[in-house]
């Protein structure tokens, strides 16, 4: 049975997407205020999250639901390793550890991979489609805000193996819509995608302390005072 999973994920996660974009850290980021110490901590957290995701998805290449969406062109672990080497040097592995929120995120990925692997599709969609859709914009913001040149420190946003982003996303959505799932499973995947957004929000909220220390409470309060319309809602409008 085929269900329109891609559209259901997009519609079903709009509210969570907007909430994530209105966390203090992301709100400041989108307005061009990026503290390098906070950003490199985010890169470290993302390294642990993507390592877990790519480890589990890599084990499930023959799984009828997870296998088709596990497209290697999307993988971010190696890009994150390059960024960590830029920020921390050659001994980066000895200098990083996951924040409590990142550790909880990693635990969730490993748990559902064992119990209900099909739910990994919700996590996969939440992270990779967000990265691919907003990557270039976020890279440009970070580049200007931290006064950086080229891709060094920002490889996370660069998808070298994807020549045509629009065509790739169309193919990804078509692949999702052809997955052999019923509506009940689709509902559970959407629910898990919303949970993934909240796990991401918890990571962003943990970073706010570092950011406030860097830019001050007054500026942070000014930058985060008004909620903005989420990018998915704006696109729909």
pLDDT digits (tens, 9 = 90+) for 2-47: 689 999 999 999 999 999 988 888 888 988 888 888 899 999 999 9
Domains of the chain: 16-228 (1.20.910.10)
Q: What is the pTM of this model?
A: 0.91
Highest mean pLDDT among 122-136, 175-189, 200-214: 175-189
Q: Quickly tell me which residue has 């919700």 as its tokens.
A: 122
- Is residue 176 a contact partner of residue 11, using CB atoms and an 8 Å limit? no
Q: For the chain, how far is it from start to end, CA to CA, in angstroms?
A: 31
Confirm if 220 and 122 have CB atoms less than 8 A apart: no
Residue 228 has pLDDT above 80, yes or no: no
pLDDT band at 1 (very low <50, low <70, confident <90, very high): low
* CA dist., res. 57 & res. 67, Å (int): 7
Continuous H helices in the chain: 5-12, 14-21, 24-30, 36-59, 66-69, 77-88, 92-95, 100-115, 120-124, 130-145, 165-177, 183-215, 217-223, 231-236
Give the three-state DSSP class for 37.
Answer: helix
Over residues 194-222, the mean pLDDT reads 84
- Residue for token digits 């007054």? 218
Model confidence at 110: pLDDT above 80: yes
The better pLDDT of the pair 169, 231 is held by 169
pLDDT tens-digit series, residues 48-81: 999 999 999 999 999 999 999 999 999 999 999 9
Out of 1-5, 113-117, 143-147, 164-168, least confident range: 1-5
- Say whether pLDDT at 212 is over 90: no
Of 30 and 94, more confident: 94
- Average pLDDT over the chain reads 91
> Residue 217 has what pLDDT?
77
Bigger pLDDT: 142 or 232? 142
| 236 pLDDT higher than 50 | no
pLDDT bucket at 237, cuts 50 / 70 / 90: very low
Q: What pLDDT does 22 receive?
A: 87
Query: Tell me: the pLDDT tens digits for 159-170?
Result: 999 999 999 999
The Cα–Cα gap between 155 and 236 comes to 29
Residue 222: pLDDT above 50? Answer: yes
């Amino acid at each position: 049975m085929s269900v329109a999973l891609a559209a259901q994920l997009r519609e079903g996660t709009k509210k969570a997407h907007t909430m994530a974009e209105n966390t203090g850290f992301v709100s400041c980021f989108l307005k061009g205020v990026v503290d390098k110490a906070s950003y490199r901590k985010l890169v470290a957290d993302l390294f642990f999250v993507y390592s877990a995701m790519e480890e589990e998805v890599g084990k499930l290449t023959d799984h009828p639901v997870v296998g088709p969406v596990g497209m290697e062109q999307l993988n971010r672990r190696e890009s994150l390793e390059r960024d960590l080497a830029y920020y921390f040097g050659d001994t980066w592995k000895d200098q990083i550890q996951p924040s409590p929120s990142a550790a909880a995120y990693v635990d969730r990925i490993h748990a559902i991979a064992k119990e209900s692997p099909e739910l990994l599709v919700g996590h996969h969609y939440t992270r990779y489609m967000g990265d691919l859709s907003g990557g270039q914009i976020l890279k440009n913001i970070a580049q200007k805000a931290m006064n950086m040149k080229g891709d060094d420190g920002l490889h996370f946003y660069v998808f070298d193996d994807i020549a045509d982003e629009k065509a790739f996303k169309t193919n990804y959505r078509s692949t999702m819509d052809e997955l052999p799932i019923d509506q009940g499973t689709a509902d559970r995947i959407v629910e898990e995608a919303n949970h993934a957004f909240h796990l991401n929000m918890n990571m962003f909220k943990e970073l706010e302390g570092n950011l406030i220390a860097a830019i001050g409470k007054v500026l942070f309060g000014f930058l985060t005072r008004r909620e903005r319309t989420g990018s998915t809602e704006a696109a729909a409008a």
